Amino acid sequence: MEVIKFGKFAALVVAFGVVVGCSSKGGDAAGTGAVDPNAGYGSSTSSTSGSSVSSEEAALRAITTFYFEFDSSELKPEAMRALDVHSKDLKAQGNRVALEGHTDERGTREYNMALGERRAAAVQRYLVLQGVSPAQLELISYGEEKPAATGSSEEAWAQNRRVELRK
């Protein structure tokens, strides 16, 4: 009887290990051929070792461009993860950074300047909520004046709807 209980317990432990080991947090976008302006936002690994955490932080730290949906100044969750790492660095080092808001070419010049400012302000608001001093953050709106990609396609427009964090 003890052997049967031990066998069931061992099977349960193995099954739990397989479920945990095989879980993932996202699909594979490879091979779609589409340009993803959010590429590089990083996906976390399931490992909790110190090296994977620091490599994930390094990957998030490397992200200095944050993308937005059309006519929106709402931060995406993946941008918030990268901004969390930047906020820790800004609080620790006290550096000043510029938050440069950009838009695609659609809309009037005045509207795009205002939208670029709202986008930069959304990043500023998030960083301040994380404890960064507002004095460390300079807001600039370029509107549609400095596109990252030329052209009138959705791919180009998606790359131009952004805020760049400049040190």
- Cβ–Cβ < 8 Å for 141, 127: no
- Cβ–Cβ < 8 Å for 80, 42: no
Q: What is the pLDDT of residues 67-88, one digit of tens each?
A: 999 999 999 999 999 999 999 9
pLDDT at residue number 54: 84
Q: What is the pLDDT of residues 121-153, one digit of tens each?
A: 999 999 999 999 999 999 999 999 999 999 999
pLDDT at residue number 90: 98
The DSSP 8-state label assigned to residue 70 in this structure reads: T
With respect to CATH, is domain 2-166 assigned 3.30.750.200? no
pTM: 0.70
pLDDT at residue number 113: 98
